[in-house]
Chains A and B, each alone.
Chain A
Amino acid sequence: METILRSQEMAEIKLLPVRHHSPACARQVQRVIKEWQPRAVLIEGPATACTLIPAMIDPATKAPFAVYYSYDDTAGAVSEEKEKYRCYYPFLDYSPELEALRTGAAQGAQVAFIDLPYGDILAASQEGKGMRQEGEKSNYNDDYLLSRSAYVRRLCEKTGLRGFDEFWEKYFELEGLSQDSDTWFGNLLTYCRQARESTPPEELREEGCLAREAYMAKNILEKARELAGTSRASHLEEETAARNRILVVTGGFHTPALAQRLGEEDAGASNGAFALEDLPKKLVSAKDQGVYLMPYSMEAADALNGYASGMPFPGFYQEIWEHVQEAEQEAPEEKEEAPPYFKAVLDMIVGTGKAVRRAEGSASTYDEICACSMVEGLAALRGKPQPGAYELQDAVLACFVKGEYNLATDEPMRLLRRQMTGKRVGELCRNAGEPPVLQDFRVRCKQYGLQTSTTLENEVTLSVFSKKKHRQMSMFFHRLLFLQASYARRVKGPNLQTGRDRNLIREIWKYKWSAQVMAALIDASVYGGSVEDAAKGLLSERLKKAVYAREGALLLTQVLEMGLEGQLEQVYGRLSELLMSDMDFYSLAEALRLLTMVRQLRWLYDSGLETRGMILTCMRRLLGLLPGMAKIKEEDMSRCMEAMKLLYQVIGRMEREESKDRETSGISDGEDTLLDSFFDALTLMDRDSEIQPGVHGCVHGLLYGGGREDVKQIEQVCRGYLTGTREQLLKTAMFFRGLFYGAKDLVFVGNTFLGMLDQFLKQIGQEDFMLLLPELHMAFTYFTPAETDRIAETAAGFHGKSRRELQEQAAVPEAWYLYGQELEEFALTTLSP
């Protein structure tokens, strides 16, 4: 069997290797605990979670749930950056660790977690390795060490299986159903030894593996001594051994190493030095570590969804687990029903058939029958005792997908995947313990009279600018939104990010309590103890990570909405840096738009701080980059034109304000104004021979608007395009678009431009016209309907038509219709045989 260590004076220690999330493994663990009756069950998992064990085994707590670990590196133990870290340790009903907790506690054994606390694991790992890998979500129980070695790859090749998961299912899950615990764990241990041997030791050190194992060994030895101490009173030796049994449940990858460490200790030669080698010298402060339970979902637990690890298809294996448990409880003579895998596969086939019928209505019962016989046939062919997840997928692919397998026909496969993933969401018992941020959330909700007991959606209307309480509620909702807790969503109200609906003075919110809100808030607990503090914490992190001025400006608007006035200075500081470092014209333009808006709204949101300096910086940066924007891609044209116009408007506004100031103060300086630099930049752009025609048009439009150019000059440029080579001629449409965007009143200055446009249309053929139609259409969208009418009238005038003639069309005389009908009948009778 798996390693058993005997120690005369101490305890009997049994090390069980497990794979996180495996029904077969959970069942074997359950068996061993029931049969062996250990006095203590020690489980791999950061020791800080020991306090959560009562809540984890509470019958009201329903899996999937996760232990959430957070660590705030205030001491800089991990890196100089002093960042905040978090990770998850998901549990499903069929997780061997959870089963060990449940059965162990039910049998009256002491249960405990024995791994290094989360913060210390981080401190023991190198940057980018192990749990410090950059990723969407970091998981405590990652099986990658078992499944990604070269050894595994060769094994799969040799057995003709598609990958580690299929290998595991065949040899451990399916064959494990009929094996006794000794054989099963023996096989697993052999496998783990091989995987361990093909992993280089330096990798183990870098990933913090060795430090963790040393800490686990230390805890196991301490427990053994403790048990020995309490049972010394007993004189009967046999009884002592029986009462001092310790079961250690760890990931299979660690078992061989633990056995080695504890084995050396047993020999007594090295006096425990080897067992504790690599142990961290100093542990990080406990007050920086957080640990909470949170509800989890099967979707998040599915290995194939990218960010989690463990076994794929949690929904499928959950069903297997339930069937296995049912069978276990039945008396042996009653066992007539189909074996667990077959039952689950059948359920999934029927469920998929139903879902396919609902979605597109093409799967028949006969398809399901064929799929069932296929899973059996494939299982027999592949030498599996029962069909598993891979046979199920193969059968649905073969029997449900009609025609070529592609995006249009893979609906059955998608529906099957969804079923195999499962959609169960966990629940926590009442005394699960909540992080302060969640408690603060509840207090606030009560204070504002918001429901947190029902899951029905409620609506609330807030007069944010007239009632103080409403403004506070709005701030609360905005903070939750910022923390990505899906409690409330704004249905109506001013939106500072897009600049829409700023005329509205009321906000309408819909809010709904759900387990996801709880999960999101627990997730955010690393940032602070209250909703406000958490929002501040997240804000600081986002500010630190921001690269573009646009991001900084967006955060500024969010700060206003969230009412975090205290953070304004911090945001301003960072934003000023970003404005200086950002090289992206569009990002700066967006920042300018947001900043001017914030300036306009400063009294409304009583931000009090002066944004003028930042706006000036932003404008200077934009002016510096502007000449380089002459040669842009066509798809960037409208963005660029918008930015140019915005810049012109903002500069104009600032200049007016300044001249007012100057009048009052009586000082005038001889420096170039911003407006001058703007027009200089435009002139520079104009000189670029490869200027994009739309931008070119816009440049001239703006120059005209600013009184730097007259109609004649623009006319000349326009003629240049019109009389140019064919390609240049075709660019005229785009030039007009830019021109009208920059200064639409040009159209109404005499008939020059419309005349030129008319000439242009005459010059190009039907085919080119169709090609340019979208561009021409865009050129005229900037006009109001009344203006379009005026343009049409002028255009009609060029061709000697009046407005009336255009609008009225002569009706087709009735006689023509009759003649046409007659003609058709004649043709029909003559041509038909």
Chain B
Amino acid sequence: MDEQKLLRPPVEVRYREELEALKAVDSGKRPENWQLSPKAVRTFILGSKTPVTYEGGTVTIGKKYFGNDALVERCIITLAGNRGLMLVGEPGTAKTMLSELLSAAICGVSTNTIQGTAGTTEDMIKYSWNYALLLAKGPSREALVPSPLYVGMEQGLLTRFEEITRTPAEVQDSLISVLSDKVLNVPELGDEGILFARPGFNVIGTANTRDKGVNEMSSALKRRFNFETVMPVREVALEKQIILNEVRSLAAESHIDMPVDEDVAELLATTYHELREGVSDLGHRIDSPSAVMSTAEAVSVYYQTMIGGYYYGDGNMDVNSLVQNLVGALSKENKEDLGRVKDYFNTVIKDKASKEGGLWKQYYEARKWLK
């Protein structure tokens, strides 16, 4: 694949060098069919302080997932075991990113994915047929169109199931027997129709706790997964770091040649953090908006402002357009949210503007766009 032509290259392509370097130096024990040992998978996701020597040069393994290191370790061990991994949490808590990183590191493929929607059917999960071939040759492996789950079992890969709770509960349940017996039966193929999963196969599901939640998931299916709840980042400094990292890589991908403004990132991280937690660092009590206040949202607000500044503006971050984009991001769920953010500006930001001045003052003055 040509990297330049992809809007968003998959993880294994983006970090190809790191993965190969890790593979080369990895001396740990590997579960069967894994590309890397659990320790190397951990290093790939959480980064390493010392660079890895590879093909004469050195490769720095950056930290790609911020937050809870123990959670990442639990995920890795779960995947090496007999149960599937279910990542649940608020939208924008990097569940999908974590699942991509895990599958890229473990089996080298992060694209073997089922995208769960309300319209997902059982044959999208198991297999379907190429009808022309089916009519011409009768049921055969050739005529069978394998699903990502089928591919995962056949080749011993991880299958990612995005937004699993968006699919109807009956359809979700088709995973139960596959996950417990590691066998998929294709009755149409007769004796050859039993597909045994190869080692290395497992399922990573992600589920959003906002709209449908995991409550409707059958307990039989729940029992076949280990659940990991991904919490929003609780530290402003860390959130700022994530915003900076993400925006930098987004900008690099889109060839936007513009430096990332740390102060603006901090402004945004603080705003999102305080609105989410309901209390400011000066101690004000704040009404939290009902809209999703995730770090991912903050990244997109920043990035939009950046693009605006790059193409239409003077190549700098404009606080006015930042506030406008903030309005856009916040007005998704209900009207009251905007009022809450207005109150936030009129109390917390006002105090900060008078105390710290500078950027906070500009930020406060830009409140006119909140309408």
Contacts and interface: CB of A to CB of B under 8 A. Distances in A.
Given A373-B81, A404-B213, A404-B214, A362 B226 contact: no
Contact of B88 (A381, A399, A403): A403
A405 interface: yes
A367 B76 CA distance: 17
A1 interface: no
B89 interface: yes
Given A381-B73, A382-B73, A404-B88, A398 B227 contact: yes
A370 B226 contact: yes
A378 B74 contact: yes
B70 A403 contact: no
A682 to B, nearest CB: 36
Contacts of B80: 377
Interface string A766-801: 000000000000000000000000000000000000
A160 interface: yes
B73 A394 contact: yes
B142 interface: no
B82 A370 contact: yes
B223 A403 contact: no
Contacts of A370: 81-83, 226
Contact of A378 (B77, B226, B228): B77
B39 interface: yes
Interface residues of A, number: 26
With a 10 A CB-CB cut-off, give which of B69, B73, B80 has the most chain A CB atoms: B73
Nearest to A405: B229
B78 A398 contact: yes
Interface string A158-191: 0010100000000000000000000000000000
Contacts of A508: none
A397 B209 CA distance: 18
B73 A378 contact: yes
Contacts of B223: 364, 366-367, 402
B27 to A, nearest CB: 13
A154 to B, nearest CB: 13
A259 interface: no
A375 to B, nearest CB: 9
Interface in A378-408: 378, 380-382, 390, 394-395, 397-399, 401-406
Given A404-B89, A404-B214, A374 B77 contact: yes
Contacts of B217: 403
Contacts, number: 71
B222 interface: yes
A378 B209 CA distance: 27
B219 A402 contact: yes
A93 to B, nearest CB: 30
A378 B80 CA distance: 11
Interface string B181-209: 00000000000000000000000000001
B38 A380 contact: yes
Nearest to B49: A158
Given A374-B77, A380-B38, A399 B226 contact: yes
B166 interface: no
Interface string A338-373: 000000000000000000000000101011001001
B277 to A, nearest CB: 16
Interface in B223-244: 223, 226-229
A406 B231 CA distance: 11
A137 B161 CA distance: 52
Nearest to A377: B77
B215 interface: yes
A364 B219 CA distance: 12
With a 10 A CB-CB cut-off, give which of B38, B81, B88 has the most chain A CB atoms: B81
A344 to B, nearest CB: 20
B126 interface: no
Contacts of A362: 219
Nearest to A374: B77
A374 B78 contact: yes
Interface in B29-82: 29, 38-39, 42, 46, 69-70, 73-74, 76-78, 80-82
Contacts of B229: 401, 404-406
A379 to B, nearest CB: 10
Interface string B145-156: 000000000000
With a 10 A CB-CB cut-off, give which of B38, B42, B77, B78 has the most chain A CB atoms: B77
A403 B226 contact: no
Contacts of A382: 73
Contacts of A378: 73-74, 77
B69 A160 contact: yes
Given A373-B81, A381-B39, A403 B74 contact: no
Contacts of B42: 381
A402 B38 CA distance: 24
B74 A394 contact: yes
A381 B38 CA distance: 6
B92 to A, nearest CB: 15
A382 B70 CA distance: 10
Interface string B307-336: 000000000000000000000000000000
Contact of A397 (B74, B213, B214): B74
A13 B223 CA distance: 60
A517 to B, nearest CB: 42
Contacts of B78: 374, 398
Contacts of B69: 160
Contact of A162 (B70, B81, B214): B70
B371 to A, nearest CB: 28
A394 B222 CA distance: 18
Contact of B70 (A373, A394, A402, A406): A394
A7 B69 CA distance: 51
Given A374-B78, A374-B81, A377-B81, A398 B226 contact: yes
B45 to A, nearest CB: 12
Contacts of A394: 70, 73-74
B330 to A, nearest CB: 24
Nearest to B180: A366
A410 to B, nearest CB: 10
Nearest to B224: A366
A374 B81 CA distance: 8
Nearest to A366: B223
A403 B215 contact: yes
Nearest to B226: A398
A370 B81 CA distance: 8
Contacts of B213: 404
A398 B222 contact: no
Nearest to A380: B38
Contacts of A404: 88-89, 209, 213-214, 227, 229
With a 10 A CB-CB cut-off, give which of A364, A370, A402, A404 has the most chain B CB atoms: A404
Nearest to B79: A377
Given A362-B219, A370-B82, A402 B77 contact: no
Nearest to B85: A398
Contacts of B219: 362, 402
Contacts of A374: 74, 77-78, 81, 226
A364 B76 CA distance: 22
B214 A381 contact: no
* Smallest CB-CB A-B distances: 7 pairs: A377-B77, A405-B229, A398-B226, A402-B222, A403-B214, A398-B74, A404-B88
Interface of B: 29, 38-39, 42, 46, 69-70, 73-74, 76-78, 80-83, 88-89, 209, 213-215, 217, 219, 222-223, 226-229
14 contacts: A377-B76, A377-B80, A380-B38, A381-B73, A395-B74, A398-B226, A399-B83, A401-B227, A402-B222, A403-B215, A403-B217, A404-B213, A404-B214, A405-B229
Interface of A: 160, 162, 362, 364, 366-367, 370, 373-374, 377-378, 380-382, 390, 394-395, 397-399, 401-406
Given A370-B81, A398-B226, A403-B227, 11 more contacts: A160-B46, A366-B223, A374-B78, A377-B76, A381-B77, A394-B73, A394-B74, A398-B74, A399-B226, A404-B209, A405-B229
